[in-house]
């Protein structure tokens, strides 16, 4: 399909997870031409990237770009290899402090790559699946970070100098996981293809990491059957 | 050498070029334990990465990390392949607008990776060889960008949440290229190993791209013999 000048373009940071898939569905619903962007950063759960491709395919992505960044070279996170992923933590425990699954400056790096992609493709928006309620422990999901990042893009890119810096839009920011799942169902997003697990066992989700626990609770609260195949039921 | 707690650590973004090498020399002079960080981003002048290794070796780097990011996947710059590198432009021409050698959001991406590295290594400073006088065309070298970037790191990283976000220090910001060369000579930096050319011919610098022209003029004005081997004299 030829690009129509009346359609605004949006870059969607798509990890193959639940949140970014619903975020992409919202971008499509809003009528944007969507540029899917996935970062292969050497994550333990590299199955994410494959799932991102499947999700993008199922949602008829016109363009899906995968950028490789070797964050394993830096270390410092359970998701890039050094530390063990915590299992079976209660919600109170999960709410305390920054977890070891925090990847140093990950969203700063990912959004920076998204800003570059938006600059090249002429996109006016970056859709970002951050969720402040579920992930209060991750500073790079906070609204004040998003605003500060936008200011950096405005000050430090060609598009910013021209007065057309892309904005960052995080439509899930105030939604619960159950809300996100209900929104995905309403929009027909392929939630069965999404992947949330930090520490998958082959094709199966572990069922015990923070991300699996939050996902399971979300489907339960949404009253939607969870399509995920877990190693531990 | 064991790390002494009295020595503050600094990450230096080291490209193998003149500016970042002198920046590293200033970090060493200031007494920091220096973590060298080079980004291999698929640049046309990949010889940069080799030169960065040689420079770091000559300056006795205790730790040199190379992070690979495939920015070719995004395109949009003469330095990552699509467009031709302009040659023999006069200084007036070079001063106009953002050049095609601008890599979208490059310094935003590089500084983000540096912030991650600083977070993992406990560095309190990121040394950054930006130079606003020579490269007025690059928005991501401007002081206002550096301040905005620092605010984003403060808002969006674990170290920021803890009140110890690294600062970005750009000691060359107001120096001319001649000043930078004189400073490098004073500090005994291995300028002969540095590489500035955007479009090298094998081992030789092209001698005609903006970066070569600025380098040549800099050595001339500094009254220092230029150790560079140019393809076109």
- Where do the structural domains in chain B lie, given as residue ranges? 9-222
Question: Which chain A residues are Cβ-neighbours of B148 within 8 angstroms?
Answer: 148, 151-152, 154-156
End-to-end Cα separation, chain B, in angstroms? 44
pLDDT at residue B185 tops 80: yes
Percentage above 90 pLDDT, chain A:
67
> Among all residues of chain B, which has the CA nearest to that of A137?
B158
Is B82 part of the contact surface with chain A (CB cutoff 8 Å)? no
pLDDT at B6: 53
CATH superfamily entry for domain B9-222: HUPs (3.40.50.620)
- Over the range B138-169, which residues count as b (16 or more CB within 10 Å of their CB) and which as e? bbbbbeebbebbbbbbbbbbbbbbeeebbebb
Please, which pLDDT band fits residue B136 given cuts at 50, 70 and 90?
Answer: low
d(CA A232, CA A181): 22
Is B28 part of the contact surface with chain A (CB cutoff 8 Å)? no
Instruction: Confirm if B105 and A112 have CB atoms less than 8 A apart.
Output: yes
C-alpha distances (whole Å) from A14 to each of A50, A80, A141, B104 are: 11, 18, 15, 20
pLDDT at residue A232 tops 60: yes
Mean pLDDT of B77-93: 81
pLDDT at A61: 95
Report ipTM (2 d.p.).
Answer: 0.91
- Selected residue of A66, A73, A117, A152 to mutate for chain B interface (largest B Cβ count, 10 A): A152
CA of B146 vs chain A CAs: smallest distance (Å):
8
C-alpha B126: how far from chain center: 12
- Choose the weakest-confidence range: A113-127, B97-111, B144-158: B97-111
Is B98 part of the contact surface with chain A (CB cutoff 8 Å)? yes
Compute φ and ψ for B192, nearest 5 degrees. Answer: -65, -20
Q: Residues B35-59: pLDDT tens digits?
A: 999 999 988 777 889 999 999 999 9
Instruction: Confirm if A197 and A45 have CB atoms less than 8 A apart.
Output: yes
Q: Which among A67, A145, A153 is the nearest to B155, CB-wise? A: A145
C-alpha distances (whole Å) from B99 to each of B64, B200, B210 are: 30, 18, 9
CA of A224 vs chain B CAs: smallest distance (Å):
33
Please, which pLDDT band fits residue B180 given cuts at 50, 70 and 90?
Answer: very high
Q: Which residues lie across from A34 on neighbouring strands?
A: A10
d(CA A14, CA A169): 14
Average pLDDT of chain B, as a whole number: 90
Q: Residues A161-175: pLDDT tens digits?
A: 899 999 999 999 999
Pairwise CB contact (< 8 Å): B108 & A112: yes
Among A183, A180, A172, which residue's Cα sits nearest to residue A141? A172
Mean pLDDT of B16-23: 96
CATH number for the domain whose boundaries are A9-190 = 3.40.50.620
- Over the range A124-162, which residues count as b (16 or more CB within 10 Å of their CB) and which as e? bbbbbbbbbebbebbbbbbeebbebbbbbbbbbbbbbbe
CA diameter of chain B: 53
Among B216, B201, B209, which residue's Cα sits nearest to residue B100? B209
Collapse the DSSP code of A69 into the 3-class scheme (helix H, G, I; strand E, B; otherwise coil) and give the result: strand
């Amino acid at each position: 399909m030829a690009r129509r000048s009346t359609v605004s373009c949006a870059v969607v940071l798509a990890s193959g997870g639940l949140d970014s898939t619903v975020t992409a569905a919202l971008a499509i619903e809003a009528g944007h031409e969507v540029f899917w962007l996935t970062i292969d950063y050497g994550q333990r759960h590299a199955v994410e990237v494959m799932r991102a491709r499947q999700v993008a395919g199922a949602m008829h992505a016109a363009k899906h770009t995968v950028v490789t960044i070797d964050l394993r070279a830096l270390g410092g996170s359970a998701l890039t290899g050094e530390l063990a992923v915590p299992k079976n933590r209660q919600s109170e425990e999960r709410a305390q402090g920054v977890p070891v699954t925090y990847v140093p400056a990950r969203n700063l790096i990912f959004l920076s790559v998204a800003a570059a992609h938006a600059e090249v493709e002429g996109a006016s928006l970056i859709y970002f699946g951050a969720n402040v309620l579920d992930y209060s422990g991750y500073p790079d999901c906070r609204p004040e970070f998003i605003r500060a990042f936008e200011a950096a893009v405005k000050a430090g890119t060609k598009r910013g100098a021209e007065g057309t810096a892309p904005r960052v839009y995080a439509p899930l920011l105030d939604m619960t996981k159950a809300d996100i799942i209900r929104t995905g169902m309403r929009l027909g997003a392929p939630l069965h293809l999404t992947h949330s697990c930090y520490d998958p066992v082959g094709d199966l989700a572990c069922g015990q990491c923070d991300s699996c626990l939050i996902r399971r609770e979300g489907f339960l609260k949404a009253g939607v059957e969870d399509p995920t195949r877990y190693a531990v039921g």
